[in-house]
Structure 1
Amino acid sequence: MISVKNVLTVLGVAFTAYFAARGLLWTGRPIPQPLIIVISVGIYLAVTWLCIFWQPASQRSSPVPRAAGSADNESLESLEAQAAPHAAGEGIRGPLPLPVTAQVLALACAVIVPNAIPIAVGETARTASFATWYLGGIGALMTIVMVRRRPWTAWAGIVLLTIASFLWMGPLNALALGLVGSIVWVTCAQLLVFSMDRAARDTSRLTRLQRAATGWQTSQVVRQRERRVQVQRALAVAGPVLTRTVAHAGVLTEDDRLEARIAEGRLRDEMRGPRLLDDEVRAELERARRRGANVTVLDEGGLDDVDDETLGIIRAQLAETLRSASSDRLYIRTSPDERVAVTVVGRSPSVGGPSDEDSVDLWREIPHPGRA
C-alpha cells in the first residue's frame, strides 16, 4: 500500500544511500586512511536508517477516543468549549518522536563522521566531492531527526557539523560546498512539521465539533419526538373531555367532571413522572383517582441512569404498592438516595373527623434492585 509515510521513508533511505555512495567514490586517488572512510560511512548508514525505522511499541500512539454526542447539551454555544480541552492534546499525526538512544547516536554521528572523514582523506583532498559528502549527509540525518520531532537535537547536530566543517575546510568552503543546504533542509523540515501538526490539531478540533454538533442535533430530534408523543398522548387523554365540554357549553355531569379530573391527573403524571409510568401503573393511578384519592406523581431525576430492565422491576413494585393502597392522598416521588428508587407516602384524615394533620397510613420505599 502506497502512503505518504512509505514514500518519505523510501526518499530518506535513497538520499542517505546516495550520500554514503559519494563518500566511497575515491577511485584512482591515494587515500591515507580508506578504512576509516568505510567505517564512517557504515556508522552513518546504520545511525541514519535506525533513526528512520526505529519506532518502539511503547511510543505508538493510542487510538483517539470517539466523542459521543451528549443529549444533555443545551445549545450549540457549548460545543466549542467541550471540544477545546481534547483538541489541545490530540490531532497530532505523522512520525513518532525519536527515542533518546537514537538521539544520542545521531549526535555522536554528527561528531564522529565530520571529523573522521577529513582525517582519513588527508589535507589535500578535504574539499573534494567524495570528502565533502558528510555536509549533506549529516544535514539529511538532522532533517530526519527534525521530522521525528526532536528539534533541539537536530539543531545541536547542525551546530556540531558547522563547527567541524569550519575547522577542517574553512567557513567559505563549508558554506559553498553544502552546509547552507543542510541548514535550509532542517529549517524547512521544522516548518513543515509545525504546519502539519497545526493542521492536524485543527482537523481534530473540527471533527470533535462536528461530532458534538451531530449529538446535539440528534438530542433535539429526540426531544422533538418526545414532545410530539406527549402532545398526541395529551390529545388522546383530554380530547374526548374537551369535546364533550364544548358540546355541552361547559355544563357537565358528575361523571363528566370525574373524567375531566382523571384526564387532568393523567396529563400531570405524563409531564411530571414519565419514567415511573407503564400501562400497569397508569391503570392503578386511574383506579385510585376513581375511588376519590388525590394522587401526586413527581420524578425529580432519581431514575435517569436506570436501565429499562431495572425500571420495569421498579414499576412493577410501584403498581403492586398502589394496588393495595387505600389512602386519601398519595404522594409518589423518586428518591435521591442511592439505595431507594421511589418513595410512596399515603395520608388519610385522622380518626375523629377532617383535620389538617392527616395521619400517615402508608410508607413504602422501593429500593434499587441489586443495590445494598
Structure 2
Amino acid sequence: MSVRNILVGLALAFTAYLAARGLWWTAPVPMPWLLVVALFAYLGTTWLVVLWEPRKDGRAGTEPIPEVDGDGLDAALVAAQPSGRLPGWAAGLALGAAIVVPNALSVAVGLDHVTAPYATWYLGGIGALMVVVMVRRRPWIAWLGIIALAVTSSVWMGPLTALGLGLVGSVVWVAVAQLLMRSLDRAARDTAQLTTLQRQASGVEASQSVRQRERRTKVQRALAIAGPVLMRVVAEGGRLSEEERLGARIAEGSLRDELRGPRLLDDAVRAELERLRRRGSSVTVLDEGGLDRVDDVTLSIIRGQLAETLSEATSERLYVRTSPHESVAVTVVGRSGAGTGLSDEDAVDLWREIAHPRR
C-alpha cells in the first residue's frame, strides 16, 4: 500500500468521524432533515476533493526530462511533474460547502443549541476540508473558506466561543499545511537543481574523457611518426643523408597535418599526402571547423573524394582547407610555376571544391 493511499484513507476516516458527531444529537432539533442534508453535502464535497485525481495522459512518462538552467528551473519542474491542482469547479464547490454547511447546521439545530457538540463539529470538519484544498494547490480558496468559517461561527455563537470550540485548530491546520507544501516545493526544486548540476557535471566529465582520449591518440601517432626520425637524428648527431632529410621533412609535414586537420585524414589521404611530399610538393592541410558536425559516414565520403583529388594533383604547392560554406566541405587549391602569392591567378592549376554529400 502506497503512502498516498494511507493518507487518503486517514482523510476519509477522519472527516467521516467528524461528520458522524452531527448525527449524535442529545436534544430534539427543529429541522433534523436539514441537519442530515448538510452532513451528507459536507461528506460528498469533502470526499470528492480527497479522491479527485487529474486525468492521466496516455503519453505521460514518455517525455524526456527537459534540460533546464537556473532561470527556467521552476517552469521545467512544473512541466515535468503531473499536476495535482484541484480544478476550479471543485475548489468552488468546497468554498460553497464552507459557507453553506455551517449556516445550514446552525439553522437546523436552532439558536438554543448552536454550541452543542452535534452542532459545532463543522468547526473541525470545514477546517479539515480546507486543509485538503490547501494540499490540492488552492491556497486562496482554502483561506477564503477559513475566513467564511470564522465569520459564520462568530455570527452564530460569538467570536470567543468559536475560538474556544475549535476555530483556532482549523486555522492552525491550514497554516501548517501551507508551510508543509512550501517546504515540499522547495525540496523538489532543490532536488531538480541538484539533478541538473549532476547532469552537467557528468557531461563535462565525459567531454574531458573524450578530449583526453583524443590527445592520447594524437601523442601516440606523433611518437609513431617522429620517434624513429628523432632517434636517427640523435644517433647520427644531426648528420643525415638527403633521403633521411626528406624523411624528416615528411614526418614534420605529417605531424602538422595531424595537428591542423585531423578530421580530414584517413589512411588513403595520409598516403597521398606522403606521396606528394616525396615528389617535392609542399602541402598545407588546415581544418578550421567546417567538418565538426559531419557524421562518420559523410566524413568517409568526403575523405575518399579528397584522396582521389590528391592522387591526380601535380601542383608544386597544395592547400587543403575545410570550407565554412554550407554546401562546400573542402577546398583544394594547387599552384605551380612562378607565382608566389595566392593573388597570382595565372599560377593556379588546380581548383576543386568537394561538396557535402546529399543524404
Q: Out of 124, 129, 132, which is 1:144 matched to? A: 132
Deviation at residue 202 of structure 1 after TM alignment:
0.8
Note if contact 1:91-1:202 (Cα within 8 Å) is conserved in structure 2. no
Q: TM-score, normalised by structure 1?
A: 0.89
Contact 2:49–2:133 (CA<8 Å) still a contact in 1? yes
Shift of residue 94, structure 1, vs aligned partner:
8.4
Instruction: State, as a whole percentage, how many aligned pairs show the same letter.
Output: 61
Equivalent position SS for 1:183 = helix
Specify the code of the residue in structure 2 equivalent to 1:2: S
Partner of 1:76: none
Partners of 1:67 and 1:359 in 2: CA distance = 56
2:221 counterpart (206, 223, 233): 233
Instruction: Give the unaligned 5+ runs of structure 1.
Output: 69-81
Cα contact 2:130–2:143 (8 A) shared by 1:
yes
C-alpha distance in 2 between matches for 1:228 and 1:172? 81
Question: Is 2:87 aligned against 1:89?
Answer: no
**1:291-311 CA-partner distances (Å, limit 9, x unpaired):** 111111111111111111111
Structure-2 residue corresponding to 1:292: 280
Question: RMSD of the TM alignment (CA)?
Answer: 2.2
Following superposition, the deviation at residue 110 of structure 1 comes to: 0.9
User: For 1:231 and 1:131, how far apart are their aligned partners in 2?
Assistant: 87
The SS at the match of 2:179 is helix
Change in CA separation of 1:58 and 1:85 when aligned onto 2, cut-off 3 Å: farther
Counterpart CA distance in 1 for 2:82 and 2:128 is 18
1-structure distance, mates of 2:348, 2:190: 62
**1:161–1:59 CA distance, 2 compared to 1 (3 A):** farther
SS of the residue corresponding to residue 233 of structure 1 reads: helix
One of 190, 209, 213 as aligned partner of 2:201: 213
- Cα contact 1:52–1:144 (8 A) shared by 2: yes
Deviation at 1:6, TM superposition (A): 2.4
In structure 2, the CA distance between the partners of 1:58 and 1:66, relative to structure 1 (3 Å rule), is closer
1:53 matched to 2:41? The reply is no
Q: Give the CA deviation at 1:54.
A: 2.2
Conserved 8 A contact 2:283-2:317: yes
Higher relative contact order (CA 8 A, sep 6+): 1
Moved more, 88-97 or 233-242: 88-97
Query: Counterpart of 2:269?
Result: 281
The count of corresponding residues between Structure 1 and Structure 2 is 353
Question: What SS does structure 1 have at the residue aligned with 2:321?
Answer: strand
Residue 106 of structure 1 aligns with which residue?
Answer: 94
Deviations 1:235-254 (A, max 9, x none): 00000000110011011111
Structure 1 residue 169 displacement after superposition: 0.9
The match for 2:35 is: 37
Aligned partners of 2:74, 2:22: CA distance in 1, in Å? 45
1:119 equivalent in alignment to 2:107: yes
**Shift of residue 161, structure 1, vs aligned partner:** 0.6
Gaps spanning 5+ residues in structure 2: where? none
